[in-house]
Amino acid sequence: MAPWWCAADSTWSRLRLALALFTFFTCAVETLSTPLPDAGSTTKREMALPSPFDDGPPSLFQGDGTDDRCVTFMANLLSDGTFKNCHPVSMLLQTSTALFEAEKQTSSLVRVLDAACSVDVSVCADYLTKAADRLGDRANCRAELDQGQPRVVQAQRGLRAYRTLYAASCLEDGGAYCFARSVSNLSDPSDSYLYFIPLGMSLPGGSTPSCNGCTRDVMNIYHASAANRGLVVSEKYAEAAQQINVVCGPGFVNATLPTAESAAVAGAGASGSRR
């Protein structure tokens, strides 16, 4: 009996076999030669932490009729490795859309706080305080600050509030971050308002912060920071404390400003610690 390749349709059989083999090996080669997804890059995307001012280009820091010196300064600051490694929550609260998204899921927010609270606060506070001073130089953003350019004002306040908000946002109660608990309370955002006080924002009228240890400890941190009259928390503390005492009872928090001290002493007093 003649072998199958000698059959009448042997030519078509050979062509079909050749085509099948060609397709198989071509697909195999393409599969092997196509780069696999970079697991490292995927991890980096998943592990990316929020950045401040992620809603627009640095050009938004420019004031009316000013040159690009402030834009250049802010672009350099935001891209600086030391700045990024500090993960300053104080710079994120008002300016980061990514932080807003992270706050929607507790696990994501905890990852942000773990990173922010694991840095050397003394090194970061020194770096960011100096950055705030440089931002105010005439060679950088003084013209924009004089104009009250909103993003530049937010940047300076965020830089100056770093140590205070590091201490407040890293507070723990019962093994959980007080900050994470406050922003997860979707029915009443009053507790989350507390964290904007060092950025120069007053508690909204009608706020009802929780009368618990987190609120008291956060306000104790602000009370210590308010000794530095150069920080905007000193302008908002007493009013906020009085509002809280209306809700929680007289004397729940200290409603008077502390004695004015130098910036260095007041800053050290607000360093706080994780419980």
**Are both 114 and 201 inside the same structural domain?**
no
Q: Which residues pair with 172 in a beta bridge?
A: 177
pLDDT at 99 over 60: yes
pTM of the full structure: 0.78
Domain count, the chain: 2
Domain boundary among 125, 140, 162: 162
In this prediction, residue 262 has a pLDDT band, given cuts at 50, 70 and 90, of low
Render the burial of 171-208: b for 16+ CB within 10 Å, e for the rest.
bbeeeebbbbbbbbeeeeebbbbbbbbbbbbebeeebe
Residue 17 lies in a domain: no
Q: Which domain holds residue 238?
A: 171-261
Asked if pLDDT for residue 105 goes beyond 80, the answer is yes
Which is more confident, 74 or 13?
A: 74
| 34, part of any domain | no
Residue 141, amino acid: C
Looking at the fold, whether 154 and 175 belong to one and the same domain comes out as no
State how far the alpha carbon of 256 is from the alpha carbons of 235, 242, 261, 273, in Å.
Answer: 11, 9, 15, 23
pLDDT classification of 127: cutoffs 50, 70, 90: very high
User: Residue 221 domain-assigned?
Assistant: yes
Answer whether residue 36 is part of any domain.
no
Angstrom CA distances, 169 to 75, 81, 247, stand at 26, 22, 22
Q: Are 68 and 144 in contact (CB under 8 A)?
A: no
As a whole number, mean pLDDT of residues 204-222 equals 96
What mean pLDDT do residues 220-242 have?
Answer: 97
Residue finishing a domain among 137, 162, 187: 162
Same domain? 201 vs 158: no
Residue 27 has pLDDT above 60, yes or no: no
| Predicted pLDDT of residue 263 | 53
Mean model confidence pLDDT for the chain: 84
Same domain, 182 and 158: no
